[in-house]
Structure 1
C-alpha cells in the first residue's frame, strides 16, 4: 500500500503529456469564460503556456504565474460556469508542476483541468446530464497514455471537493480501468 510520502517515477515526457491533456481539456471552455470577461486573457494565457510546455517549452516561473493569474480571474468571473472555466485553465498550467509523490492530492493536479472544464460545460448547459456525460467521455477518449500510467502509481482520488470532486473521482475511476 502506497503512503503519502512514497516517491513515484515521473518522467518529463509524462509531465508534458499530462500538461498537454490538461490544456486541451481547459481550452474547450475558454469561450465560456470569455463570454463573461471578454477582455481578460489570463485563462487563455495559462492554457497557451501549458501547451507551450507540453510541446517542449521550459517549465518557468511564468508558467506558475499564469496558473495563479487564471485562478485570480476565476474570482472575478460573473457566472459559475465562467469560474470553473478559469479554474480549468489554472489547473492546466499547474499540471506542469505535478510532484513525484504518491499522494491522492496529485490526482487533482492531473484531472483538475478536465473536471473543472466538465463542470463549466455542465453549468453552461443548465445541468444537462448528456452534456456532462459527453464531456467526461471526451476527456476519457483524449487522455494520453501517460495520464492512466501516472494515475496507476497514485492512490485513488480523495473524497470531498463537491461536484468537481465527484467529477475527478469519476474520471479517475474510468481512466484507471
Structure 2
C-alpha cells in the first residue's frame, strides 16, 4: 500500500516477481564470470539468494550479504565481461530491495540485472552489441505481466549511466510497450 504522495504501492509478491526476473537475467551470464573465475561462487550465490527470496524466502541478511559479496567479486574478475556478469548477479540479489519511491532511479533495481547481463554478453570476445540485443530480447520475453506492471508504476529510466544506462533505457522502453494477451 502506498502512503505518501511520492510512494509506489509494492507488495511482497511484486518484489518476488521482480527478484525472479532479475535472477533469471543474471543467471544467463553466470558462466561468463565462472569462465574467468572458476573458483569464485559469489555471483552464483547472489543469484541463488535472489531465487530463494523469489520462491518464498525472507528478504534479509542472506540477500544483502550475497549482493555485497557479488559486488566484491567484480573487483576480482580479470575481464570486463566477467565484471558485468558479477554486477548482474549483485543486481539480482538487490532487486528485492526495490524502494517504493516514485523515482526514476528505482528502475535500476528492476532492470539492472538484465542490462548488466546484456552488457556482459556484448563484452565477450567475438560477441558485440548483437549479443546484447539478444539478451535484452530474452529479458523482455521472460518478464511477467506483474514485472511490467510494477515497472510502469515508476517513471521512465533516467539518462546517463554509459552503455549500461543505455541498455536499461532500451529494456525499459521495450517492456513498457509490451502487451500481454490472455
Aligned residues: 173
Superposition map of 1:120-135 within 5 A: 120-135=120-135
Report how far residue 150 of structure 1 moved.
Answer: 1.2
Cα contact 2:122–2:128 (8 A) shared by 1: yes
Q: What SS is found at the alignment partner of 1:14? A: helix
Q: Runs of 4 or more off by more than 2 Å in structure 1?
A: 125-130
Q: 2:16 maps to what in 1?
A: 16
Q: What SS is found at the alignment partner of 2:40? A: coil
Tell me the distance in 2 between the aligned counterparts of 1:133 and 1:25. 13
Report how far residue 130 of structure 1 moved.
Answer: 2.6
TM-score (norm 1): 0.95
Tell me the distance in 1 between the aligned counterparts of 2:86 and 2:15. 21
Tell me the distance in 2 between the aligned counterparts of 1:65 and 1:129. 32
Tell me the distance in 1 between the aligned counterparts of 2:125 and 2:51. 27
Cα contact 1:125–1:131 (8 A) shared by 2: no
Q: Does 1:7 align with 2:14?
A: no
Cα contact 1:15–1:95 (8 A) shared by 2: yes
Q: 1:110 maps to what in 2?
A: 110
Q: Does 1:93 align with 2:93?
A: yes
Tell me the distance in 2 between the aligned counterparts of 1:74 and 1:57. 26
Superposition map of 1:44-55 within 5 A: 44-55=44-55
Structure 2: state its 5+ residue gaps: 178-182
TM-score (norm 2): 0.92
RMSD: 1.1
Tell me the distance in 2 between the aligned counterparts of 1:175 and 1:125. 28
Q: 2:83 maps to what in 1?
A: 83
Cα contact 2:121–2:128 (8 A) shared by 1: no
Tell me the distance in 2 between the aligned counterparts of 1:78 and 1:161. 22
Tell me the distance in 2 between the aligned counterparts of 1:16 and 1:117. 19
Report how far residue 127 of structure 1 moved.
Answer: 4.5
Structure 1: state its 5+ residue gaps: none
Q: What SS is found at the alignment partner of 1:121? A: helix
